[in-house]
Amino acid sequence: MVRKTEHNSVAVYREINAETGETRLYCHSELKAKKEQAIRNRFHIRLEEGLDKLNAGLDKKGTTKNYAKILERIGPLREKNSRVAQDYSMKSLPMPTKNNAIRIEWKREFQSDQKDQHCGVYCLRTNIPDWSEEQLWTTYTMLTEIEATFRSLKTDLGLRPVYHHKENRVTGHLFITLLAYHLVHTLRYQLKQQGIQLSWDSIRNIMSTQQRITIPCRQMIIKRFIYGQRPKPKHGRNNYMLP
């Protein structure tokens, strides 16, 4: 176990290839498993509902019953749900005398259950033999942090677009953006020291209850209204080291 939090836990298994000396780290994330399973379930339901609808239409008037047309409709249905379509065996039964389909049969194969069991599993490969499981996994997650950093710089912190044309103003714009990121990184570091593993997006959502509004009045008197809600106990002022 390399990580265990309130919302997620990550377990790893290390294996070394005797021929190449390559280290393989098989990881299983509970949160990732729930997400992937939910996606697969959604595709399963959509594919089965589409097949049931085609099959029910064979017994109704005014619906397509031509054998070739039914096969043409099954093809796009499989393509639309390609994530799970390989888990099914499907066939359309034709009428002996007419070129119409009388029934659509489908069955979910055993391999589908095996794929469900592997939800949340991924493999890391490296040629570094002397690192621990936690070091390897932490280094891999740094890639996600770096990608999130660039995404945050370009969106939330306003690195792009740059509307300035003078060099000193462009430099100032970049400096303020990097300064903002350092503040974000410091906040996240302090949270991690207390065991709170939250992304910047999650922190923003939680802290969005704290707002300050400045309203200019006609009498040129500025009044400030502080609007805020009491934070949840698990994300209180002490956790965020707020003054």
Q: What is the tens place of the pLDDT at every residue in 167-201?
A: 999 899 888 888 888 888 888 888 888 878 777 77
* Range with lowest mean pLDDT among 36-50, 52-66, 133-147, 228-242: 228-242
| pLDDT exceeds 60 at position 221 | no
Mean pLDDT for 60-78 is 89
pLDDT of residue 243: 43
Kindly report, residue by residue over 22-63, the tens digit of the pLDDT. Answer: 999 999 999 899 999 999 999 999 999 999 999 998 888 888
pLDDT of residue 242: 46
CB 159 within 8 A of CB 172: no
**Average pLDDT score, the chain:** 83
pLDDT of residue 219: 64
Q: What does the H/E/C string look like for the chain? A: CCEECCCCEEEEEEEECCCCCCEEEEEEEHHHHHHHHHHHHHHHHHHHHHHHHHHHHCCCCCCCCEHHHHHHHHHHHHHHCHHHHCCEEEEEEECCCCCEEEEEEEEECCHHHHHHHCCCEEEEEECCCCCCHHHHHHHHHHHHHHHHHHHHHHCCCCCCCCCCCCHHHHHHHHHHHHHHHHHHHHHHHHHHHCCCCCCHHHHHHHHCCCEEEEEECCCCCEEEEEECCCCCHHHCCCCCCCC
Mean pLDDT for 64-92 is 90
| pLDDT exceeds 50 at position 122 | yes
| pLDDT exceeds 90 at position 144 | no
* Range with lowest mean pLDDT among 42-46, 122-126, 154-158: 154-158
